[in-house]
Amino acid sequence: MEPTEKYDAIISAIDLDAIYYAVTKKSRLGAPEELNYAAMIISCFVRYVE
């Protein structure tokens, strides 16, 4: 299996919406809003696969 196919198969089985909701910014304070939370979540799963 190609790495991109492997990542797609793993990520499609995970409910990313629930994780994204749990980690998104809820207030004006703290980290900037421009952070790409979805990419950070996916990169955590890819790191464990590798």
Spatial contact of 42 and 11, defined as CB atoms under 8 Å apart: yes
Given a cut of 70, whether residue 33 has pLDDT beyond it is no
In residues, how long is the chain? 50
Question: What mean pLDDT is predicted for residues 6-29?
Answer: 78
Question: What mean pLDDT is predicted for residues 5-25?
Answer: 80
Question: What mean pLDDT is predicted for residues 6-23?
Answer: 81
Domain range annotation of the chain: 3-49
Q: Which of 38, 43, 44 is nearest to 24 (CA)?
A: 38
Confidence of residue 25 (pLDDT cuts 50, 70, 90): low
Spatial contact of 6 and 49, defined as CB atoms under 8 Å apart: yes
What is the C-alpha to C-alpha distance for residues 29 and 27, in angstroms, rounded to an integer? 5
Report CA dihedral (7, 41, 21, 17) to the nearest 10 degrees: 0
The pLDDT score that the predictor gives to residue 1 is: 65
